[in-house]
């Protein structure tokens, strides 16, 4: 009975961040997605359980990949001006983000923007990719060292390394 006071405290601890995220703000991930929705008259599909996927990816990579945000625009047939999209994303992301890659197909039908920013020992990545009638917007925070440890765990040895399994054709 003495722990009953923890229930309202836990509810408040869960509701406050949810309310802040729902309110969004004018910048960041939500600001970019809203700007794309408004400018191109399209609606983003909210992927169910992205928060759970972010949590699982963080646990599976021992903190290598966290804070995953994802929005998908299906049937995105609008003509996208690369300069306009770039300027909109830069404005909404705000200070600290640097564009690393901007790729535009010859006729402008495909656009890819990749922005990054340092986040202590992490690297924030923000990706906008428009191709084949759909647009994806992704934000993620990665710890390169932790991610490398997780990925190398599943790595394969090169065929020219010593291998006692007898599977390789070695001389």
**CA separation, residue 123 to residues 98, 116, 142, 144 (Å):** 11, 7, 5, 8
Instruction: Identify whether 11 is part of a domain.
Output: no
Query: What integer pLDDT is reported at residue 19 of this predicted model?
Result: 40
Given a cut of 90, is residue 130 above it in pLDDT? yes
Count of domains in the chain? 1
Confidence band, pLDDT 50/70/90 cuts, at residue 78: confident
Task: Classify residue 169: in a domain, yes or no.
Answer: no
Burial 41-78 (b: 16+ CB within 10 A, else e): ebebeeeeeeeeebeebbeebebbbbbbbbbebeebee
- Could you tell me if residue 116 is inside a domain? yes
How many other CB atoms sit within 10 Å of the CB of residue 160?
8
- For residue 37, is pLDDT > 60? yes
93 lies in a domain? yes
2 located within any domain: no
Max mean pLDDT among 25-29, 52-56, 57-61, 83-87 falls in: 83-87
In this prediction, residue 72 carries a pLDDT of 95
Residue 146 has pLDDT above 90, yes or no: no
Mean pLDDT of 77-89: 91
Please indicate, yes or no, if residue 84 is contained in any of the structural domains: yes
pLDDT at res. 73: 95
Is residue 59 in some structural domain? yes
Percent of the chain with pLDDT over 70: 73
Residue 54 lies in a domain: yes
Show the domain range for 137: 24-151
């Amino acid at each position: 009975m003495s722990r009953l006071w923890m229930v309202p405290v836990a509810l408040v601890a869960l509701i406050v961040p949810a309310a802040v995220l729902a309110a969004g703000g004018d910048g960041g991930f939500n600001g970019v997605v809203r700007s794309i929705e408004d400018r191109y008259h399209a609606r983003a599909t909210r992927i169910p359980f992205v928060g759970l996927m972010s949590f699982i990816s963080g646990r599976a990579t021992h903190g290598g990949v966290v804070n995953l945000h994802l929005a998908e625009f299906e049937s995105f047939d609008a003509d996208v001006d690369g300069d306009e999209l770039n300027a909109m994303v830069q404005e909404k992301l705000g200070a600290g983000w640097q564009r690393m890659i901007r790729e535009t197909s010859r006729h402008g039908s495909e656009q890819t923007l990749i922005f990054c920013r340092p986040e202590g020992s992490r690297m924030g990545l923000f990706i906008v990719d428009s191709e084949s009638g759909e647009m994806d917007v992704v934000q993620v925070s990665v710890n390169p060292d932790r991610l490398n440890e997780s990925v190398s765990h599943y790595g394969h040895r090169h065929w020219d390394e010593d291998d006692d399994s007898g599977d390789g054709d070695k001389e």
